[in-house]
Amino acid sequence: NAGVTQTPKFRILKIGQSMTLQCAQDMNHNYMYWYRQDPGMGLKLIYYSVGAGITDKGEVPNGYNVSRSTTEDFPLRLELAAPSQTSVYFCASTLRGVGDSGNTIYFGEGSWLTVV
């Protein structure tokens, strides 16, 4: 089982460049999330999706965009990279929320992004 797959694992961007972080899951999960984690801090929710075609803003959506055209994929787009977006990005997925058993939230391995 591949689980949640994120690419790339490491990337250096120049200020103003754009890029897309890819996230794919093969578990047929409805819910997918994008988080960022700054050094020594907790995870902050950027965007999430409860199913194909549906996305919602999280706590820190500014500077990012997402799409969910299929159940499997949930890419995160940075349009104009800024140094403040230097962080580790984690994608996660889970089965339907209500009534779900707790141990079905799966994380990708993380993407380390540096903007210089």
Q: Which residues bind another protein (CB under 8 A)?
A: 31, 33, 35, 40-45, 48, 50, 56, 58-59, 90, 92, 94, 97-98, 100-103, 105, 107-110
**CB contact set of 42 (below 8 Å; sequence gap of 6+):** none
Q: Which is nearer to another protein, 40 or 62 (CB)?
A: 40
- Reading phi first (left if > 0) and then psi (alpha if -120 to 50, else beta), residue 41 is in beta
Closest distance to another protein from the beta carbon of 80 (Å) = 26
Q: Which is nearer to another protein, 18 or 96 (CB)?
A: 96
Rounded to an integer, what is the distance from CA 100 to the centroid of its chain? Answer: 21
Closest distance to another protein from the beta carbon of 15 (Å) = 25
Q: Are strands 106-107 and 43-51 parallel, antiparallel or unpaired?
A: unpaired
Closest distance to another protein from the beta carbon of 51 (Å) = 10
Strands (E), the chain: 4-7, 10-13, 19-25, 31-37, 43-51, 54-57, 64-66, 76-78, 87-94, 106-107, 111-115
Closest distance to another protein from the beta carbon of 115 (Å) = 19
Q: Which is nearer to another protein, 43 or 52 (CB)?
A: 43
Q: Which is nearer to another protein, 19 or 60 (CB)?
A: 60
